[in-house]
């Protein structure tokens, strides 16, 4: 690649007041305004995942998605080097071959190019990344006029990083949230989306929502005024709908008044079917779950998920298919509301048992760190040495995700018995080999639904 196509060292970030003025003069809504309008219209806003290394290709990708699918929010997915603050490596890869990057290196391209992307499309942008310390990335995003930023001190550390102490990531994200509070005081509300999807596979709803509650409380204490709580589709319709409906109830219970809270559904992030028809069935199914659960926004998938990074056409088709869930003709669809109410009660009770001892502590960050060290907080399948990962989730016979083992989570005897009863009909995996086979079958849930062989995934 010609060095002329790579920016010189990005200029110093502009003053915060200048960035706020820039956003006000962009002539398009912020992400928070788009989400508010979607909620008022009882419509699910749509957002794709997308990110490439080349600036020119990133601009073309955003413009193509907007022109052909009209998403409500567009994404800059950030590359791995930038996520880990390896800015020199990101720049070197950008000079050598942008295609080697698995996302857009915003810090290396610089905020002026970020503004070029912003001005190229009418939808607001969100940065999605996975960084335990996103301070410089956030500052560059704000200078770029980007009005939505994903992540948190727990959810963007423990699922991704092996050796980053929780205390460090919590402190770094506290600075991000404090800057959001400063911006809100200046009249610019940033949507802070919390990554409740965690490790994305077999995540029990209550642990997903509990982590988001803790991050939301921490953010609100720093002045954040718009919070999106992302939840990963598990695959059991009533349980997923109940989890989405739990989000506003949890917000009313644990957050101060005046905080806008939006439920967000990530379409199924587990093993996707390879057959296009089956994959599209799953995409539409997820979109309907978002509608029925009252989600403000849906993060879409494509029929190429089983094959790797989807191309632009697949992203467009996924967005168009998901948009069908907003059709007024689908208002006749109804679910078992008694079943949903039962799941909702279950989820709210489990979340309360997890978060209330932590929220009662004088120092929230210290208590979060101590609770993870002791297993009172935990997530399954964590990459981090700072989570015990003693939680073992399993699917009940009906497909709902339960706790086979809850480790040291502070659950009541009643909660533990409910999970045990739900899983009892699935049989006893006393041997480790049986347990591994059972977990594998649970992870391959939708392959089994569509009759695809797991062996075909290789």
Instruction: Catalogue the E-assigned strands of 278-426.
Output: 297-299, 392-395, 401-405
Phi, psi at 380, each rounded to 5°: -75, 150
Given the structure tokens 């930023």, which residue do they identify?
Answer: 149
Q: Which amino acids are annotated catalytic?
A: 83, 150
CB of 429 closer than 8 Å to CB of 439? no
Q: Residues of 50-76 as b/e, b for ≥16 C-beta within 10 angstroms? A: bbbbbbeebbebbeebbeebebbbbbb
Sign of the torsion formed by the C-alpha atoms of 277, 283, 286 and 291 = negative
CB of 84 closer than 8 Å to CB of 361? no
- Report in angstroms the alpha-carbon separations of 18 from 21, 109, 137, 171, 188: 5, 20, 18, 26, 12
Q: Residues of 376-397 as b/e, b for ≥16 C-beta within 10 angstroms? A: bbbbbbbbbebbbbebbbbbbe
CA distance 395 to 385: 26
């Amino acid at each position: 690649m010609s060095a002329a196509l790579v920016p010189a060292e990005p200029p110093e970030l502009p003053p915060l007041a200048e960035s706020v003025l820039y956003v006000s003069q962009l002539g398009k809504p912020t992400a928070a305004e788009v989400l508010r309008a979607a909620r008022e219209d009882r419509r699910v806003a749509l957002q794709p995942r997308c990110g490439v290394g080349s600036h020119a290709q990133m601009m073309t990708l955003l413009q193509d998605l907007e022109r052909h699918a009209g998403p409500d929010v567009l994404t800059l997915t950030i590359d791995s080097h930038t996520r880990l603050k390896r800015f020199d490596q990101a720049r070197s890869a950008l000079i050598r071959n942008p295609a080697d990057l698995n996302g857009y290196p915003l810090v290396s391209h610089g905020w002026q190019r970020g503004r070029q992307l912003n001005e190229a499309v009418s939808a607001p942008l969100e940065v999605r990344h996975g960084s335990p310390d996103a301070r410089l990335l956030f500052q560059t995003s704000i200078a770029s006029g980007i009005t939505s930023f994903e992540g948190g001190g727990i959810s963007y550390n423990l699922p991704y990083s092996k050796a980053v102490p929780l205390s460090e990531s919590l402190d770094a994200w506290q600075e991000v949230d404090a800057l959001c509070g400063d911006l809100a005081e200046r009249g610019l509300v940033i949507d802070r989306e919390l990554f409740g999807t965690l490790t994305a596979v077999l995540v029990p709803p209550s642990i997903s929502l509990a982590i988001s509650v803790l991050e939301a409380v921490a953010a609100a204490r720093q002045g954040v005024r718009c919070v999106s709580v992302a939840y990963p589709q598990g695959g059991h319709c009533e349980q997923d709908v109940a989890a989405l409906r739990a989000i506003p109830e949890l917000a009313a219970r644990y957050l101060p008044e005046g905080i806008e809270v939006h439920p967000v559904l990530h379409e199924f992030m587990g093993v996707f079917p390879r057959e296009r028809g089956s994959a599209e069935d799953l995409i539409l199914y997820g979109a309907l779950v978002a509608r029925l659960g009252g989600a403000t926004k849906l993060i879409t998938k494509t029929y190429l998920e089983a094959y790797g990074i989807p191309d632009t056409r697949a992203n467009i088709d996924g967005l168009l298919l998901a948009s069908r869930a907003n059709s007024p003709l689908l208002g006749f669809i109804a679910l078992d509301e008694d079943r949903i109410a039962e799941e909702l009660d279950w989820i709210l009770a489990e979340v309360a048992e997890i978060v209330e001892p932590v929220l009662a502590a004088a120092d929230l960050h210290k208590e979060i760190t101590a609770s993870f060290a002791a297993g009172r907080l935990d997530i399954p399948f964590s990459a981090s040495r700072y989570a015990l990962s003693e939680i073992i989730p399993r699917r009940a016979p009906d497909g709902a995700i339960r706790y086979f083992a809850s480790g040291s989570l502070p659950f009541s005897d009643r909660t533990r018995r409910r999970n045990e009863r739900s899983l009892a009909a699935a049989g006893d995996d006393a041997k480790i080999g049986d347990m591994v086979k059972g977990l594998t079958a649970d992870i391959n849930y939708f392959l089994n639904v569509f009759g695809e062989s797991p062996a075909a995934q290789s």
